[in-house]
Amino acid sequence: MKEINIGKIKDRFSQELKGAKSDNEKKKICKKYIEDELSSVFVLLKNISGPKRATIGKDANNLKQFILEKMNDGGEKKREEREEMIDVTLPGESVKRGSIHPLTSLQERCKRIFANCGFSIIDGPELESEWYNFDALNFKQDHPVREMQDTLFIKQKNREKLSSKEKLLMRTHTSPVQVRYMEKRKPPLRIIVPGRVFRNEATDSSHEINFYQIEGLMVGKKISVANFKAVIGYFFRQLFDSNIEIRLRPSFFPFTEPSFEVDVSCTICNKRGCSVCKQTGWIEIVGAGMVHPNVLESAKVDPTKFTGFAFGMGIDRIAMIEHKIDDIRLFYGGDLRFLKQF
Ligand code: DAH
């Protein structure tokens, strides 16, 4: 019977392994020694008995372990090499961060200023009924003033048979929330309503199919135009700068009487005249007025006991003036080159 010499096998294996030119070749050699050489040793071992069998068996197992370790060596080394290759002096990849949309940040600033003078911030539905959007706000049925606001109506089965509380539309302004709120809470009250509104308009640089408004409402005993002037003046001085001036001009809205437009002195040219204020020195920003008695009655508030003022302004327009943006559509285009500037 052939003498089994594990030491010799080990020497031959080491010799061959040294000659290997690649990891692949090394692997092949290891495999060959385990599957051929050692397997036949284990087969032969069956015919051997006594202490010899135990020593050879132990040596053969040790050799198998030794070869297996060599076989994994290549992989281990590779990983180590790869890890060593990391150059910690290279600048890291920066994490791309988004930024707050200019309309959102302006809305937040407005909310904070009003909250600081005791106004609650209230929400209302974007999908609204004709009742809240028009009727309750004293828009007379079939009156041309309804056409002032190009409305997106919702398709409904047998729409003509529905009541105005059931007829749906996308709200054209945030004013309906005035009535919704007064139905639930009795005066005295002070709220602002930031929110999105919709108009069925052809878009251009100053018109969008949706935009943002902030509505304001204060109702109580003996609330007057003087209170309104104080609040709106405070707001703009906080928002823009402390030297800003305010003026009221007569206007018309069905839900206020009297109604006015609020102009603020141009923050860009300081009333000297520029393209933003169209050389007038003033910018028209807010629609406002004293809440019409019919509106108070729609919300079951007694107009002989309470009075109030209301106002509405476009966030987009204020943001455009503030950042000198000449196209409202930029706010909604999602163009990163624009958004990254804020
Ligand atoms: N809702 C009006 C609009 O969208 C703006 C407005 C004007 C709101 C006068 C008011 C107000 O509360 O009193 O054009």
Dist. CA 288 → ligand 1 center (Å): 6
* Helix or strand run (H / E) with residue 312: strand 307-314
DSSP string for 173-198: SSTHHHHHHHHHSPSSEEEEEEEEEE
Helix axes 225-239, 102-116, angle to 10 degrees: 130
Residue with tokens 């402390």: 242
- The reported pLDDT for the residue numbered 77 is 63
Dist. CA 342 → ligand 1 center (Å): 29
- The reported pLDDT for the residue numbered 75 is 60
Closest CA to 241 of 264, 274, 212, 213: 264
Q: Ligand 1 pocket test: which of 138, 173, 228, 263 has the largest number of ligand atoms within 8 Å of its C-beta?
A: 173
Give ligand 1 pocket residues (Cβ under 6 A): 173, 175, 215, 253, 256, 287-289, 310-312
Identify each DSSP E strand in 122-278 by its residue range: 127-129, 152-153, 168-170, 189-198, 210-220, 246-253, 256-265
pLDDT tens, per residue, the chain with 342 residues:
567 888 898 999 889 888 888 888 888 888 898 888 888 888 888 888 888 888 888 888 898 888 888 887 766 666 666 667 777 888 888 888 889 999 999 999 999 999 999 999 999 999 999 999 999 999 988 776 676 668 999 999 999 999 999 999 999 999 999 999 999 999 999 999 999 999 998 999 989 999 999 999 999 999 999 999 999 999 999 999 878 999 999 999 999 999 999 999 998 888 998 888 889 999 999 999 999 999 999 999 999 999 999 999 999 999 999 998 999 999 999 999 999 999
Q: Ligand 1 pocket test: which of 311, 317, 318 has the largest number of ligand atoms within 8 Å of its C-beta?
A: 311
Dist. CA 259 → ligand 1 center (Å): 9
Question: What is the atom index within ligand 1 of the atom nearest the CA of 216?
Answer: 12
Question: What is the atom index within ligand 1 of the atom nearest the CA of 309?
Answer: 13
Dist. CA 102 → ligand 1 center (Å): 23
The answer to whether 296 and 182 are in contact (CB under 8 A) is yes
- The reported pLDDT for the residue numbered 78 is 64
Question: What is the atom index within ligand 1 of the atom nearest the CA of 178?
Answer: 12
Pick among 1.20.1440.230, 1.10.530.10, 3.40.140.10, 3.30.930.10: CATH of 102-339: 3.30.930.10
Burial label for 104, CB within 10 Å (0-12, 13-18, 19+), is middle
Domain map of the chain by residue range?
Answer: 6-84, 102-339
Burial label for 132, CB within 10 Å (0-12, 13-18, 19+), is buried
Residues 6+ apart with CB under 8 A from 292: 138, 254, 255, 256, 257
Sheet harboring 168-170: ordered strands across?
A: 127-129, 168-170, 152-153
Residue with tokens 């036949």: 40
- The reported pLDDT for the residue numbered 80 is 66
pLDDT digits (tens, 9 = 90+) for 23-35: 888 888 888 988 8
Residue 92's DSSP bridge partners are none
First to last CA, the chain: 88
Q: Residue 174 carries which side chain, given as an amino acid letter?
A: T
String of b and e for 62-77 (b: at least 16 CB within 10 Å)? ebbeebeebbeebeee
Which residue puts its alpha carbon closest to atom 10 of ligand 1?
Answer: 311
- The reported pLDDT for the residue numbered 166 is 97
User: If DSSP codes are grouped into helix, strand and coil, which group holds residue 249?
Assistant: strand
Which residue puts its alpha carbon closest to atom 13 of ligand 1?
Answer: 288
Chain CA centroid to CA 285, Å: 26
Question: What is the atom index within ligand 1 of the atom nearest the CA of 172?
Answer: 4
